């Protein structure tokens, strides 16, 4: 994206607050950037592309009611919740902290891998869950969120460390 915009690593470093050497190492694949660094770089590039105009934020798009399950719940609870709410994926929490995700797809993959329905329904969600959805700040531009969603089905939105919403691909499509 940086090269396509004809922005130098030095210019990007100056605007984003990420060192030029770190940007070079990330681009060469020598280091894996932290989530915060990647978001900062994408937001900076997005701002540069728009000439500094502000984007719609994650808070503007997020569904405020987060339907979730606890990591200690049984898979049958998650499955029933997905069926009754119409959601195909749910964040998995331990208390108020996101620890994973569960989806119809991940449950079907366990069945295809040889688990029986009986084994699955009584298993704890923590035993079958996938990685947690990424968490972004409420002020994150939605363009940065959409870039992240190519690798995940949803993004959680937080305000001062507390979850306040969730963005799915369906929420993004509402903008179109």
Q: What is the pLDDT of residues 2-24, one digit of tens each?
A: 887 788 999 999 989 999 999 99
Say yes or no: 94 and 8 in one domain. Answer: no
Give the domain extent around 88.
55-176
Asked whether the predicted pLDDT for residue 144 surpasses 90, the reply is: no
Answer yes or no: are the C-beta atoms of 58 and 138 closer than 8 Å.
yes
Say yes or no: 34 and 10 in one domain. Answer: yes
Q: How do residues 28-64 score in pLDDT, each as one tens digit? A: 999 998 988 988 998 888 888 777 545 578 988 899 9
Distances (CA, A) of 92 to 1, 31, 85, 117: 33, 29, 16, 20
Which of 11, 37, 53 finishes a domain? 53
Q: What is the mean pLDDT of residues 150-158?
A: 91
Please give the pLDDT value at position 55.
Answer: 59
Please give the pLDDT value at position 128.
Answer: 93
Report the predicted TM-score, pTM, of the whole model to 2 decimal places. Answer: 0.68
Q: How do residues 65-120 score in pLDDT, each as one tens digit? A: 899 999 999 999 999 999 999 999 999 999 999 999 999 999 999 999 999 999 99
Identify the CATH number of the domain in which residue 31 sits.
1.10.260
Answer yes or no: are the C-beta atoms of 94 and 139 closer than 8 Å.
no
Domain total of the chain: 2
Cα–Cα distance for residue pair 21/24, rounded to 1 Å: 5
């Amino acid at each position: 994206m940086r090269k396509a915009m004809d922005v130098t690593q030095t210019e990007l470093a100056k605007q984003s607050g990420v060192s030029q050497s770190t940007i070079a190492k990330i681009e060469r694949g020598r280091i894996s950037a932290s989530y915060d660094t990647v978001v900062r770089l994408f937001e900076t590039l997005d701002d540069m592309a728009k000439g500094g105009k502000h984007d719609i934020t994650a808070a503007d798009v997020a569904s405020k009611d987060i339907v979730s399950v606890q990591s200690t719940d049984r898979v049958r609870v998650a499955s029933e919740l997905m069926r009754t709410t119409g959601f195909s994926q749910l964040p998995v929490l331990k208390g108020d902290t996101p620890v994973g995700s569960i989806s119809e797809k991940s449950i079907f993959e366990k069945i295809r891998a040889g688990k029986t329905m009986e084994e699955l329904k009584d298993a704890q969600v923590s035993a079958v869950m996938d990685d947690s959805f990424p968490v972004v700040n409420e002020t994150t531009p939605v363009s940065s969120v959409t870039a992240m969603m190519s690798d995940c089905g949803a993004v959680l939105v937080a305000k001062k460390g507390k979850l306040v919403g969730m963005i799915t691909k369906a929420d993004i499509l509402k903008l179109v």
